């Protein structure tokens, strides 16, 4: 059996009844399993995770996107997370017996249906987007909701599917195929977004642009396959480093945590805890447990449950 995961991000994180109406559409589809619903108040965004056979997942995702467009009014939306639509982004991830190329075809099918049947502007991204100049989510979303009324009229930003007019209520949607990633946030003992961003630029692969002798150059960050920004979360009363770990074999969760601790400490800031958004592979937590035990020069020959407990305590995943 072929299995794919789908992780749509909806631009509502406060109204739990509204969110449930969207996720109910997913649960109505036989053969699709709703794995996780993770709303965030400050980001005003909910990350939903489902899994199933590709054709059935496409139906569930379409129904959820349709319902979100009916319920969410983007003209009134405010939140810390970058966004451009009621269903902001909807990635498909190959899980079992399916290639990335095949997953990308299903993403294109979903995008075509959303664009044509719902008249929502849709952009393809990552493996589903053949144009490398517009396959990066952050590039597509640059300008966010407010900037897309003008951006969508530019020839180079014509949607892949749907009308080339920006829908004030529903916004636009980005649909694609990508590898598994971990969304991971680290809390700081500061309320300063500027200081949080400085640390984010220190660690993210894209780094920062600096000027030397009148010439602008890029100074890469220390972590490969990591995207990061800093923001203030009013709900917690602290600033965070918000990261996407796009290759957890290259940079696992515990490596990202330790590097943020190191860079924060260099700027006189302390890490006070962290949080995972959505789901994470079990191996990520057991590997983290072993890593912290090794740092303490202790034996790693403990139970899986104990490894998870050590990982949670070491990274402050229970501090919120």
User: What residues are labeled active site?
Assistant: 81
From the list 121, 128, 102, 17, the residue with the least C-alpha distance to 67 is: 17
Instruction: Please state the φ and ψ torsions of residue 289, each to the nearest 5 degrees.
Output: -60, -45
Is 272 strand, coil or helix?
strand
From the list 297, 244, 268, 12, the residue with the least C-alpha distance to 137 is: 244
CA dist., res. 293 & res. 300, Å (int): 6
Q: Pairing relation of β-strands 87-96 and 173-177?
A: parallel
Instruction: Please state the φ and ψ torsions of residue 152, each to the nearest 5 degrees.
Output: -65, -20
Structural contact between residues 285 and 293, judged by C-beta atoms closer than 8 angstroms: no
Cα dihedral 11, 67, 48, 128 in deg (nearest 10): -90
Residue 206 structure tokens: 């894209």
């Amino acid at each position: 059996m072929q299995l794919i995961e789908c992780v749509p991000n909806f631009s509502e994180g406060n109204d739990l009844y509204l969110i449930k109406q969207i996720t109910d559409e997913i649960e109505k589809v036989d053969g699709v399993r709703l794995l996780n619903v993770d709303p965030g108040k400050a980001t005003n965004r909910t990350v939903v995770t489902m899994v199933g056979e590709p054709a059935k997942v496409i139906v569930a995702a379409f129904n959820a996107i349709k319902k979100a467009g009916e319920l969410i009014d983007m003209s009134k939306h405010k939140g810390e997370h970058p966004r451009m639509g009621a269903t902001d982004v909807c990635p498909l991830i190959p899980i079992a017996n399916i290639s990335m190329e095949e997953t990308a075809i299903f993403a294109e099918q979903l995008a075509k249906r959303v664009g044509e049947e719902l008249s929502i502007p849709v952009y393809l991204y990552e493996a589903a987007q053949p144009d490398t100049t517009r396959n990066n989510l952050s590039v597509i979303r640059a300008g966010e909701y407010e900037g897309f009324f003008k951006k969508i009229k530019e020839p180079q930003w014509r949607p892949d599917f749907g009308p080339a007019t920006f829908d004030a209520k529903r916004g636009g949607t980005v649909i694609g195929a990508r590898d598994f990633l971990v969304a991971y946030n680290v809390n700081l003992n500061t309320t300063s977004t500027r200081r949080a961003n400085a640390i984010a630029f220190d660690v993210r692969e894209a780094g920062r642009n600096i000027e030397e002798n009148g010439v602008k150059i890029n100074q890469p960050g220390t972590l490969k396959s990591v995207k990061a920004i800093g923001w203030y979360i009013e709900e917690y009363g602290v600033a965070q480093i918000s990261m996407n770990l796009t290759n957890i074999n290259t940079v696992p969760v515990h490596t990202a945590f330790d590097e943020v601790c190191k860079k924060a400490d260099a700027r006189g800031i302390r890490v006070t805890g962290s949080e995972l958004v959505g789901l994470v592979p079990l191996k990520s937590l057991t590997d983290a447990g072993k890593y912290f035990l090794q740092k303490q020069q202790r034996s790693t020959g403990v139970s899986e449950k104990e490894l998870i407990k050590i990982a949670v305590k070491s990274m402050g995943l229970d501090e919120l």
